[in-house]
Amino acid sequence: MGLESRADGLKPARLRRPLIAASRRELDILPARLFDSPMKPPSQRQLRAGELIRHALTDILAREEFDDPALHGKSITVTEVRVSPDLKNATAFAAPLGGEDMAKTVEALNRASGFLRGRLSREIDMRYTPIVRFIADDSYDEARRIDELLASERVRRDLDHKNGN
């Protein structure tokens, strides 16, 4: 069978482009159907690299003086760093101490990410220095909300009722 079209209107298999590669090129994201199966947990290598990057970022943020007014004089906590399987991209969860102006601080960290990547390359010994993007860490707010719920009168009453008091 040559290059002529078939009766069913489909091209021969060797001329069809794979759907996944085409959609990735066009959309720069993976189709949602690829995520139907449960995602794999991070490997030991990813976890180790994430902790290495987190420690280095914490040291850099504590040591460096930034010209950006949103970062000047702020104490920033990096709670977690998640690294892609190829170790070329990293997502750092950060929050300013006290949690005030979180959006401005994270935006400023993302503006300074190129500078931070340069400093990071001097601190860590990896083949590729990952591209770091920062996301606001709201886990402290979530933990506080759960504590408030557990301390509320309704929940305490239900717990006392179950314990037989």
Which residue in the block uniquely carries the two structure tokens 């979530």?
Answer: 142
* Best CA proximity match to 117, nearest among 62, 63, 69, 56: 56
Strand partners, 80: 93
Domain definitions of the chain by residue range: 44-137
Distance CA 42, CA 51 (A): 12
44-137: what fold?
Answer: GMP Synthetase; Chain A, domain 3 (3.30.300)
Give pLDDT tens digits for 65-104: 888 888 888 889 999 999 999 999 999 999 888 777 888 9
* Best CA proximity match to 90, nearest among 41, 143, 50: 50
The pLDDT value recorded for residue 10 is: 56
Q: Model pTM?
A: 0.66
